[in-house]
């Protein structure tokens, strides 16, 4: 009989190495990191546990669970769909195929919104998806004393399934957010001090070329900004004024080359625009406009 390989004996280090190789061959850049994170998810072994004793042997059923998770990842299913969660602004958000996986770039939008947030403000998040923007803005705002305890933010999405996910997230995290089933402003009645949004903004021609995890697993409607990627910004710029108080703010995340166009749409609709903070790559990712018509 052939001797078992170290990975077959369930030794952690060998298992992780084998998994990382498999993921690397599948074209995954962060193969080693993903191999360790999947170990935490499938076998409850945290990165610290692993470092403390990389030679420990994993029981067979955990090895099986780990292999299953690694197989999924090798098939280019996003890590977050396997583990069911993504951290955003320090909070764990549940994610699934109905919502865009929250991106780190979007944290820049929340940081800009936090700078403008004041206790009495009425806030609306459009295209809320997982609810990550509305919930984290509410929770951090509250911690910073910028949200009165009786406040409830509003958040809208066209997808009922996304709203279910957002609802689950807001409930689990204790964020008071009223969720509204609406195509942008269609069913919005309130008048706000701040409207935030990270709408779909990818140009149609570009979606085909995106990496498989995004192209096949993020919802198409969460990516699709129509032909030139700017469809939702035009609509938001046209309609936001009707739902903002005088002096109210619109804060939008934009694609890396869209800030000029979006600022122009807002300026034409009566907003005074400023650039928000740059994202981690140093790009203009947030356009902020104050309504002063
Ligand atoms: N607002 C959500 C997010 O930032 C969803 C965005 C979208 O679906 N385009 O994650």
pLDDT in tens, 172-210: 999 999 999 999 999 999 899 999 999 999 999 999 999
CATH class of 85-291: alpha beta
Measured in angstroms, how far is the CA atom of residue 91 from the centroid of ligand 1?
Answer: 16
pLDDT digits (tens, 9 = 90+) for 222-276: 999 999 999 999 999 999 999 999 999 999 999 999 999 999 999 999 999 988 8
Query: 197 CA to middle of ligand 1, Å?
Result: 8
How far is 226 from 209, CA to CA, in rounded Å? Answer: 15
Residue nearest to atom 10 of ligand 1 (CA): 102
| CA quadruple 179, 104, 34, 171: dihedral, nearest 10 | -20
pLDDT at 2 over 70: no
87 forms bridges with which residues in the sheet? Answer: 92
Counting DSSP H helices and E strands in the chain, the numbers are: 14, 9
- What residue ranges do the domains of the chain occupy? 6-75, 85-291
- Residue-wise pLDDT for 11-42, tens only, equals 999 999 999 999 999 999 999 999 999 999 99
pLDDT above 60: residue 1 = no
147 CA → ligand 1 middle, Å: 22
Pocket test for ligand 1, best of 91, 101, 132 (most atoms within 8 A of CB): 132
Q: What is the architecture, at CATH level 2, of domain 6-75?
A: Orthogonal Bundle (1.10)
- Give the model confidence (pLDDT) of 94-153 as tens digits: 999 999 999 999 999 999 999 999 999 999 999 999 999 999 999 999 999 999 988 999
Residue with tokens 């390989």: 5
Q: What is the DSSP letter of 257?
A: T
Taking CB atoms and a 6 Å cutoff, what residues make up the pocket around ligand 1? 100, 102, 106, 127-130, 132-133, 198-200, 222
Average pLDDT of every residue of the chain:
95
Please report the pLDDT score of residue 185 as a whole number.
Answer: 98
Nearest C-alpha to atom 3 of ligand 1 is from which residue?
102
Q: Where are the alpha helices (DSSP H) in 47-147?
A: 47-52, 60-74, 79-83, 106-116, 132-143
The question of ipTM being above 0.90 is answered as yes
Cα(237) to ligand 1 centroid in Å equals 18
């Amino acid at each position: 009989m052939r001797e078992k390989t170290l990975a077959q004996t369930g030794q952690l280090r060998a298992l992780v190495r084998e998994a990382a190789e498999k993921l690397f061959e599948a074209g995954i850049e962060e193969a080693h990191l993903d191999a360790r994170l999947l170990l935490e998810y499938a076998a409850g072994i945290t990165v610290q546990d692993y470092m403390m004793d990389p030679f420990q042997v994993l029981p067979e059923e955990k090895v099986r669970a780990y292999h299953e998770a690694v197989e999924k990842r090798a098939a280019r299913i996003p890590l977050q769909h396997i583990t069911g969660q993504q951290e955003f602004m320090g909070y764990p958000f549940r994610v699934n195929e109905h919502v865009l996986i929250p991106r780190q770039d979007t944290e820049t939008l929340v940081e800009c919104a936090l700078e403008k947030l004041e206790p009495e403000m009425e806030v609306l998040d459009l295209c809320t998806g997982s609810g990550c923007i509305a919930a984290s803005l509410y929770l951090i705002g509250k911690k910073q004393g910028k949200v009165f305890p009786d406040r409830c933010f509003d958040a809208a999405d066209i997808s009922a399934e996304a709203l279910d996910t957002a609802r689950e997230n807001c409930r689990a995290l204790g964020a008071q957010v009223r969720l509204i089933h609406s195509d942008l402003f269609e069913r919005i009645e309130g008048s706000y001090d701040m409207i935030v949004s990270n709408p779909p903004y990818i140009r149609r021609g570009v979606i085909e070329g995106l990496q498989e995890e995004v192209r096949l697993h993020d919802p198409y409607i969460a990516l699709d900004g129509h032909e030139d990627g700017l469809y939702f910004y035009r609509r938001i710029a046209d309609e936001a004024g009707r739902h903002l108080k005088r002096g109210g703010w619109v804060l939008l995340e934009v694609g890396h080359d869209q800030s000029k166009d979006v600022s122009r749409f807002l300026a034409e609709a009566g907003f005074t625009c400023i650039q928000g903070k740059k994202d981690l790559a140093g790009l203009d990712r947030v356009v902020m406009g104050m309504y002063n018509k």
